[in-house]
Chain A
Amino acid sequence: EPEVTQTPSHQVTQMGQEVILRCVPISNHLYFYWYRQILGQKVEFLVSFYNNEISEKSEIFDDQFSVERPDGSNFTLKIRSTKLEDSAMYFCASSAGQGGQPQHFGDGTRLSIL
């Protein structure tokens, strides 16, 4: 069964550094998402992306964050100048989009900011 894959599984970065989290969505999906989950808290929506542009973003997704689909298969989340509070699990998801088709999630990248 096709699945969403995320790399790396764990990323350790010094505060202030830039980090790029990578995702390969399911191949025929058109809608892409990033969510995050701080340890012990709820899964929170960050951003949705369709047709090469952001569809919706949350208040969390400020100027420090950006997303890109650099080619036909990858979807990336870039965090510039990371802060301690960016430490979290980051989940990528994708969906076919039409007719209520569900989002499918990857297993996440654990981002640790030191």
Chain B
Amino acid sequence: DAKTTQPPSMDCAEGRAANLPCNHSTISGNEYVYWYRQIHSQGPQYIIHGLKNNETNEMASLIITEDRKSSTLILPHATLRDTAVYYCIVREYQGAQKLVFGQGTRLTINP
């Protein structure tokens, strides 16, 4: 079973920041937080990951609380193309560890 909890759906207006929350209260010290998204039935697309520090890349920012029990993915200026299912996944950082997908959050960007 997935070790994360996400809201099933969210809406956001185009051009605004989309903030997607994730709870991972049982995360252990050697587990990273990964975010992926899936547009329609395409392959999951990697967005960002982090261990304990906040991270930013060209797609998004990841804010991890100090106790690491929750995180927020931020899409700073959402566009219609950001409409997708977003998955928050915790995974050990060593070796061939599988990704365990939950149901994710279906984010709809409205014009």
Inter-chain contacts of A89 with B (CB < 8 A)? 41
Q: Is the CB of A75 closer than 8 A to any CB of chain B?
A: no
Residue from B44, B49, B87, B100 with most neighbouring chain A CB atoms (10 Å):
B44
A110 to B40 Cα, complex, angstroms: 13
Number of interface residues of B (CB under 8 A): 23
Q: Is the CB of B10 closer than 8 A to any CB of chain A?
A: no
Inter-chain contacts of A45 with B (CB < 8 A)? 98-100
**Interface size bracket, A side:** 20 to 34
Binds B, one of A48-56, A63-71, A79-87: A48-56
* Shortest Cβ distance from B103 into A: residue: A42
A43 to B32 Cα, complex, angstroms: 19
Inter-chain contacts of A105 with B (CB < 8 A)? 36, 43-46
Inter-chain contacts of B98 with A (CB < 8 A)? 33, 45, 48, 56, 58
Inter-chain contacts of A4 with B (CB < 8 A)? 43
- Known A-B contacts A100-B51, A103-B46; the reply to A44 vs B99 at CB < 8 A is no
A91 contacts B43, CB within 8 Å?
A: yes
Task: Tell me which of A56, A91, A100 contacts B49 (CB under 8 A).
Answer: A100
Using a CB–CB cutoff of 8 Å, the interface residues on chain B facing chain A are: 32, 34, 36, 38, 41-46, 49, 51, 87, 93, 95-103
A-B pairs, 9 with minimum CB distance: A105-B43, A100-B93, A55-B96, A48-B96, A43-B101, A45-B98, A102-B46, A31-B96, A100-B32
